[in-house]
């Protein structure tokens, strides 16, 4: 009889644990974005998106291709396939070196957590396409218990391969 009670108790604990799991996941910082006319969770978007543009915390739009981004945004010039794809007024990071792969770009002032955009420890090249007076674009490596190292890109500065300075797949936040 004692053994049977113990079995029931374990089963109840197991049930509670399973029920609690989705609630814990929901507390993870997420960002909703507009992608192909729908509002979806940022963590799901990179499966098919190529460019995500952060205009503000509440306005993030993603595009399936560079061509779609340029057409939708009314940019007259076609893609160059390099750092110049980063539009005027934005700080951009790319998943690959030489400005290849997925691009995430920021316009509004402040510090932005890259984990919100599923881009933490992913940036391999970057460009600060902001005119003088707008200030620097920073890549920030978050450290516990000591100051966060920063990689600064001045106005119109680009880096084709962050590995050369030890910053490949390292940025946790960006500052703009």
Binding site for Ca ion (CB under 5 A): 121, 141, 170, 172
User: Which residue, 13 or 152, has its beta carbon nearer to Ca ion?
Assistant: 152
User: Which residue, 108 or 121, has its beta carbon nearer to Ca ion?
Assistant: 121
Least distance from C-beta 105 to Ca ion, angstroms?
Answer: 19
User: Which residue, 66 or 141, has its beta carbon nearer to Ca ion?
Assistant: 141
DSSP label at 58? T
Nearest-10 Cα torsion for 30, 146, 129, 120 = -30
Least distance from C-beta 113 to Ca ion, angstroms?
Answer: 11
Question: What is the three-class DSSP state of 173?
Answer: strand
Least distance from C-beta 166 to Ca ion, angstroms?
Answer: 11
User: Which residue, 82 or 141, has its beta carbon nearer to Ca ion?
Assistant: 141
Least distance from C-beta 170 to Ca ion, angstroms?
Answer: 5
User: Which residue, 103 or 170, has its beta carbon nearer to Ca ion?
Assistant: 170
Least distance from C-beta 123 to Ca ion, angstroms?
Answer: 10
Counting Cα atoms < 13 Å in the Cβ hemisphere of 5 gives 2
Q: Which residue has the tokens 């009314």?
A: 74
Measured between alpha carbons, how far is 171 from 29 in angstroms, rounded to an integer? 17
Phi first, then psi: what are they for 24, rounded to 5°?
-65, -45
Measured between alpha carbons, how far is 118 from 41 in angstroms, rounded to an integer? 10
The residue length of the chain stands at: 176
């Amino acid at each position: 009889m004692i053994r049977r009670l113990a079995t029931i108790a374990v089963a109840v604990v197991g049930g509670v644990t399973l029920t609690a799991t989705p609630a814990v996941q929901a507390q993870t910082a997420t960002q909703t974005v507009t992608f192909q006319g729908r509002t979806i969770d940022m963590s799901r978007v990179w499966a098919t998106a190529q460019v995500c543009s952060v205009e503000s915390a509440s306005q993030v739009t993603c595009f399936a291709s560079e061509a779609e981004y340029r057409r939708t945004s009314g940019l007259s010039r076609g893609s160059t396939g390099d750092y110049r794809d980063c539009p005027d007024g934005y700080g951009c990071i790319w998943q690959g070196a030489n400005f290849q792969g997925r691009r995430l770009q920021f316009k509004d002032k402040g510090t932005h957590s890259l984990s919100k955009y599923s881009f933490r420890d992913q940036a391999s090249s970057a460009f600060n396409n902001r005119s003088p007076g707008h200030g620097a674009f920073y890549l920030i490596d978050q450290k516990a218990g000591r100051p966060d190292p920063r990689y600064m890109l001045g106005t119109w500065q680009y880096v084709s391969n962050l590995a050369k300075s030890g910053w490949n797949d390292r940025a946790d936040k960006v500052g703009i």
